[in-house]
Amino acid sequence: MNLDELKAKRSKKKLDPLPIAEKELCDRYQEVFTAAVNDVLREQGLLHQVLPSNIVPLKLEMKVCGVAFTVKGSKNLTIESEMEQRAQMLEEVGEGSIVVWDTSRDDESAQWGEVMTLASKQRGCKGAIVDGGVRDTNKVLELEFPVFCKYRTSNGMLGRFRMIDWQIPVMIGNVFIYPGDIIFGDIDGVIVIPRDIAFDVLVKAEAIKENEKEIKRMVLEGLTPTEVVKKGGYF
Ligand SMILES: O=C([O-])CC(=O)C(=O)O
Ligand SMILES: [Mg+2]
């Protein structure tokens, strides 16, 4: 076992630069759709990049792409320093980020709410993905802040649940998420694109979007599904 290599991979690290600016990359992702990205990842043998299907957008129209800012927590009754710790985490959230909560599969508390939305939005955060819950839902909706989560609840996390750490590798379902990975969510759910392949995957997803225009044109022109497949189409 190469312990040093494993430690380096799992430790907090500086984000590798991308071939284009993060903002341009994420804006371009938002012009494609998660199914196209998923097909590209499938071609590369990456079959487990989608968060569990019970993590859904608060509103069907919500579509967001940003850079993962990971947070890890679990059920915990202690309260001492909780607010200070949460404030510190929120102050580290950066422009273009998406807060991604690994909650150790919580089923009870809200890890996100109105004031957290306001505070992170002010810092340029684009959305929150929570393997848990949200509260103050009507206010979060009014703020037009994309949130993907499992449930809504009035249970604040204070005294029930707390953060363990942030900007560390996390795991939701069977998906590894590293700080800096690209997170893309739409009506079909949330997909995680490893940072080192994010640009290449985007370019291929854009090609799929173009190609599917041609396939749909063939279908609309009356070609049978068999003819469409013979001409290189797919469904
Ligand atoms: O209590 C919480 O954990 C979250 C909350 O209500 C807010 O951010 O407004
Ligand atoms: Mg609140």
CA torsion through residues 152, 156, 157, 159, sign? negative
Q: Using a pLDDT cut of 70, give the percent of the chain over it.
A: 99
Q: Starting from the CA of residue 155, give the closest ligand.
A: 1
Q: How far is the CA of 33 from the centre of ligand 1 (A)?
A: 31
Q: Which of 8, 11, 26, 7 is nearest to 146 (CA)?
A: 26
**30 CB-contact burial (10 Å; exposed 0-12 / middle 13-18 / buried 19+):** middle
Residue 68: what pLDDT? Answer: 98
> Which parts of 154-225 are beta strand (E)?
161-166, 170-172, 175-177, 182-186, 189-193
pTM recorded for the entire structure: 0.96
Residue type, 188: D
Round to whole Å and give the CA distance between 116 and 128: 10
Please check the confidence at residue 14 and state whether its pLDDT lies above 90.
no
Alpha helices in 33-124 (DSSP H): 34-43, 82-92, 114-122
Tens-place pLDDT, residues 154-172 = 999 999 999 999 999 999 9
Q: What is the mean pLDDT of residues 129-158?
A: 98
The H helix count followed by the E strand count for the chain is 8, 13
Residue 77: what pLDDT? Answer: 98
Residue type, 235: F
Residue 8: what pLDDT? Answer: 85
136-156 residues labelled b (16+ CB within 10 A) or e (exposed): bbeebbeeebbbbbbbebebe
Q: How far is the CA of 112 from the centre of ligand 1 (A)?
A: 6
Q: Residues whose CB is under 5 A from ligand 2 (ion)?
A: 113-114, 136
Ligand 1 pocket, Cβ-based, cut-off 6 angstroms: 110, 113-116, 135-136, 156-158
Residue listed under structure tokens 């009870």: 108
Tens-place pLDDT, residues 195-204 = 999 999 999 9
Q: What is the mean pLDDT of residues 78-99?
A: 98
Closest residue to atom 2 of ligand 1, CA basis:
156
